[in-house]
């Protein structure tokens, strides 16, 4: 899922300070799971803003609404009407949700409440770690289910750099060296032959932004010529 | 033809001294050893933003070394350049008469002095060797033809004390497949380690240069406190030998040890040559050469 962190409160408050009617729009999917942008966190942010503005003698109208997913037009479309009563929106979605919301017709200025960080996993309650860079070329089948693009800070494709010490990464000694892990895993599984050939330069051309994927079954609908 | 290649292939036991490109454009300190030691050493190693700390371009420095009469060994990391920049700098090196290239991944940006810089690593060191080999045979990494091929003598790094060693050996094999012609080891500080290393590599056509380092006082102190975290070890006996009352004394003792090791490595044929890291200081290099009888 997408992992995000909430922005410092002062930054959020400063962004919406010029407005009197502020809607906080939550997202009920990834950011709700990682405890930064769901219904509860929307409520918390609303209370914080009311308190902070209250201390300055201001009482802006602060509304709350949380939709299933802000990255899905079906769920955010109704917000086009909701925002009629507001003059600014704070989105607690990831960057994708914020942008999709901002694209809606009749939408008011949208401000992000989060910094989107990575695609990751839920290690334990409140503890998330990165696993995927969405690099358009998955190596996991070759590298024993450990991603060299993500788990190696240098994204090396052909073995460890010279900097690992006792199997720990030179960049952050708390982390295992991805290539030491890859090697050990494949050795255990008798699959070392898979990483013996030199992997070629990564096709970064596929990662030109903004990315677009059209499911093969829908190519005719979206008039994709191959 | 590369003088370093001639010396390594000809069994002449080349000595390469590492110099330090400045943070600025004052060249005097960097070039002083080139002027004072020319003729006594085969080449000068030129780090590429060493330790991820921004310095004068190693390519420019390599040309300056050449103009000062020295033979450059250009260190080239994958950290700061994408494949276009790596290739065009390699062509630039070729055009400037710089043949000796050492391909490295490069220390990560967050360990250096520009921690918010974007790390590149478009290629890894194996792929950089392949790229350089491709240019030598007349094509770039996109398969396009060149007008005029550069000639390089290609080296890479090897970590004798790597732990675990097997993943490192996987990479060494790939570097060999990619056409590496010489390796430079990480620093080692005892003859025993060089001996073990020599035995482990056996007879190979590829050449091995042993890296000798004069550690600074802070590194020796870290080791004495058990806080030394590097890809090579500073054994307690060495730490004891190098401990001094002031930083200069530590360096002098380090230079004495380095000179002694250099002499022994050459006499016992424990490597095909040496790469010496003496803080880029000509006076220490001079002391090392005198101690080694070179």
Q: Please give the average per-residue pLDDT across B214-226, as a whole number.
A: 95
In a domain, B84, yes or no: yes
CB atoms within 10 A of CB B65: 28
Instruction: Check B108 against A163: CB less than 8 A apart.
Output: yes
Q: How far is B268 from chain A (nearest CA, A)?
A: 27
- Which ipTM did the prediction report? 0.95
Say how many domains are in chain B. 1
Q: What is the pLDDT of residue B204?
A: 81
B105 touches chain A (CB under 8 A): yes
Q: What is the DSSP letter of B137?
A: T
Kindly report the CATH number that applies to the domain delimited by A2-118: 3.40.50.2300
Stretch (H or E) spanning A197: none
Chain A residues bordering chain B (beta-carbon distance below 8 Å):
153-167, 170-171, 173, 177, 179-180, 182-184, 187, 192, 195-196, 198, 200-202, 204
Q: What is the pLDDT of residue A225?
A: 66
**Which residue in B109, B265, B107, B289 sits closest to B214, CA to CA?**
B289
* Residue B140 contacts residue B87 (beta carbons within 8 Å): yes
Q: Which domain holds residue B90?
A: 3-214+269-281
**Gap between the Cα atoms of B38 and B222, Å rounded:** 34
B267-278 per-position pLDDT tens digit: 999 999 999 999
**In sequence order, what are the residues at sequence separation of 6 or more whose Cβ sits closer than 8 angstroms to the Cβ of residue B215?**
B223, B234, B242, B250, B254
In a domain, B169, yes or no: yes
**Which residue in B155, B123, B157 sits closest to B140, CA to CA?**
B123
In a domain, B291, yes or no: no
- Tell me chain A's radius of gyration from C-alpha atoms: 22
**φ and ψ of A128, to 5 deg:** -125, 145
- Chosen from B82, B109, B170, B173 to mutate, greatest number of chain A CBs within 10 A: B170
In a domain, B109, yes or no: yes
Q: What is the DSSP letter of A208?
A: P
**Gap between the Cα atoms of A35 and B179, Å rounded:** 51
This prediction's pTM:
0.96
Stretch (H or E) spanning A102: helix A95-103
Stretch (H or E) spanning A66: strand A61-67
In a domain, B236, yes or no: no
The sheet with strand A110-112 has its strands ordered as A61-67, A21-27, A88-91, A110-112
Residue entry with tokens 């607690």: A92
User: Using N-to-C axis directions, what is the helix angle for B247-267 and B282-292, rounded to 10°?
Assistant: 40
Q: Which residue has the higher pLDDT, B205 or A155?
A: A155
* Pairing assessment for the beta strands A88-91 and A61-67 based on DSSP bridges: unpaired
Q: Nearest chain A residue to B177 by CA: give it.
A: A198
In a domain, B36, yes or no: yes
CB atoms within 10 A of CB A192: 16
Instruction: Check A183 against B166: CB less than 8 A apart.
Output: yes
Q: What is the pLDDT of residue A5?
A: 98
B181: left (phi over 0), alpha (psi -120 to 50) or beta: alpha
**Gap between the Cα atoms of A140 and A146, Å rounded:** 6
User: How many interchain CB pairs under 8 A, A with B?
Assistant: 95
Using the predicted structure, report yes or no on whether residue B16 has a pLDDT greater than 70. yes
> What are the boundaries of each domain within chain A?
2-118, 133-201
Task: Give the pair of three-digit tokens for residue B242.
Answer: 């190098």
Instruction: Check A171 against B127: CB less than 8 A apart.
Output: no
B40 touches chain A (CB under 8 A): no
* Residue A130 contacts residue A120 (beta carbons within 8 Å): yes
**Gap between the Cα atoms of A209 and A195, Å rounded:** 30
Which residue among B105, B130, B164 sits closest to A161, beta carbon to beta carbon?
Answer: B105
**Gap between the Cα atoms of B25 and B50, Å rounded:** 16
pLDDT tens, chain A, 226 aa long = 999 999 999 999 999 999 999 999 999 999 999 999 999 999 999 999 999 999 999 999 999 999 999 999 999 999 999 999 999 999 999 999 999 999 999 999 999 999 999 999 999 999 999 999 999 999 999 999 999 999 999 999 999 999 999 999 999 999 999 999 999 999 999 999 999 999 999 999 999 999 999 999 999 899 876 5
CATH number at residue B276: 3.20.20.220
Q: What is the pLDDT of residue B45?
A: 98
Return mean pLDDT, chain B: 96
Q: How far is B141 from chain A (nearest CA, A)?
A: 9
**Which residue in B183, B201, B205, B198 sits closest to B266, CA to CA?**
B198
B281: left (phi over 0), alpha (psi -120 to 50) or beta: beta
Stretch (H or E) spanning A62: strand A61-67
Task: Give the pair of three-digit tokens for residue B40.
Answer: 């006594």
Contacts of B164 in chain A (CB under 8 A): 166-167, 180, 183-184
Using the predicted structure, report yes or no on whether residue B116 has a pLDDT greater than 90. yes
Which residue among A154, A155, A159 sits closest to B171, beta carbon to beta carbon?
Answer: A159
Q: Nearest chain B residue to A166 by CA: give it.
A: B163
Which residue among B124, B157, B162 sits closest to A156, beta carbon to beta carbon?
Answer: B124
**Which residue in A118, A143, A122 sits closest to A133, CA to CA?**
A118
Contacts of B124 in chain A (CB under 8 A): 154, 156-159, 161
**Which residue in B216, B161, B148 sits closest to B193, CA to CA?**
B161
Residue entry with tokens 């009888």: B293
Q: Nearest chain A residue to B131 by CA: give it.
A: A201
B198 touches chain A (CB under 8 A): no
B148-201 per-position pLDDT tens digit: 999 999 999 999 999 999 999 999 999 999 999 999 999 999 999 888 888 887
Using the predicted structure, report yes or no on whether residue B29 has a pLDDT greater than 70. yes
In a domain, B240, yes or no: no
Q: What is the pLDDT of residue B200?
A: 82
């Amino acid at each position: 899922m997408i992992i995000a962190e909430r922005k410092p409160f002062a930054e959020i408050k400063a962004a919406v300070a010029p407005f009197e009617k502020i809607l906080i729009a939550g997202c009920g999917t990834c950011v709700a799971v990682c405890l930064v942008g769901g219904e509860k966190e929307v409520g918390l942010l609303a209370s914080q803003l009311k308190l902070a503005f209250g201390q300055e003698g201001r009482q802006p109208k602060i509304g709350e609404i949380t939709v299933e997913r802000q990255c899905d037009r079906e769920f955010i479309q109704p917000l086009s009407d909701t925002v009629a009563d507001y003059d600014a929106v704070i989105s607690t979605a990831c960057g994708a949700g914020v942008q999709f919301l901002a694209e809606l017709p009749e939408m008011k200025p949208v401000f992000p409440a989060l910094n989107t960080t990575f695609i990751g996993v839920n290690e334990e309650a409140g503890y998330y770690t990165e696993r995927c860079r969405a690099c358009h070329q998955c190596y996991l089948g070759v590298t024993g289910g450990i991603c060299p693009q993500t788990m190696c800070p240098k994204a090396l494709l052909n073995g460890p750099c010279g900097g690992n010490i006792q199997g720990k990464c030179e960049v952050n000694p708390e982390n295992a060296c991805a290539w030491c892990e890859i090697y050990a895993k494949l050795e255990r599984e008798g699959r070392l032959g898979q990483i013996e050939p030199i992997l070629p330069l990564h096709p970064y051309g596929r990662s030109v932004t903004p990315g677009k994927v059209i499911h093969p079954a829908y190519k005719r609908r979206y008039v994709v010529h191959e | 033809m590369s003088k370093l290649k001639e010396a390594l292939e000809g069994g002449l036991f080349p000595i390469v001294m590492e110099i330090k490109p400045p943070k600025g454009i004052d060249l005097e300190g960097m070039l002083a050893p080139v002027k004072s030691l020319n003729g006594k050493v085969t080449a000068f190693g030129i780090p590429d933003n060493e330790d991820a700390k921004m310095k004068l371009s190693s390519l420019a420095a390599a040309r300056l070394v050449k103009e000062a009469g020295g033979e450059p060994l250009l260190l080239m990391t994958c950290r700061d350049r994408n494949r276009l920049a790596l290739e065009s700098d390699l062509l630039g090196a070729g055009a400037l008469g710089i043949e000796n290239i050492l391909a490295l991944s490069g220390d990560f940006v967050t360990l250096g002095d520009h921690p918010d810089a974007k790390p590149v690593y478009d290629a890894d060191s194996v792929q950089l060797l392949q790229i350089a080999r491709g240019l030598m045979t007349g094509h770039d990494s996109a398969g396009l033809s060149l007008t005029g091929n550069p000639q390089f003598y290609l080296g890479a790094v090897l970590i004798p004390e790597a732990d675990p060693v097997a993943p490192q050996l996987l990479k060494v094999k790939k570097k060999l497949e990619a056409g590496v012609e010489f390796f430079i080891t990480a620093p080692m500080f005892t003859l025993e380690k060089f001996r073990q290393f020599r035995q482990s590599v056996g007879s190979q056509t590829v050449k091995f240069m042993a890296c000798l380092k004069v550690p600074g006082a802070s590194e020796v102190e870290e080791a004495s406190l058990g806080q030394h975290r590097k890809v090579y070890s500073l054994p307690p006996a060495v730490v004891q030998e190098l401990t001094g009352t002031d930083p200069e004394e530590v360096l002098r003792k380090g230079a004495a040890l380095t000179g002694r090791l250099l002499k022994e490595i050459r006499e016992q044929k424990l490597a095909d040559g040496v790469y010496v890291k003496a803080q880029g200081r000509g006076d220490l290099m001079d002391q090392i050469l005198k101690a080694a009888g070179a």
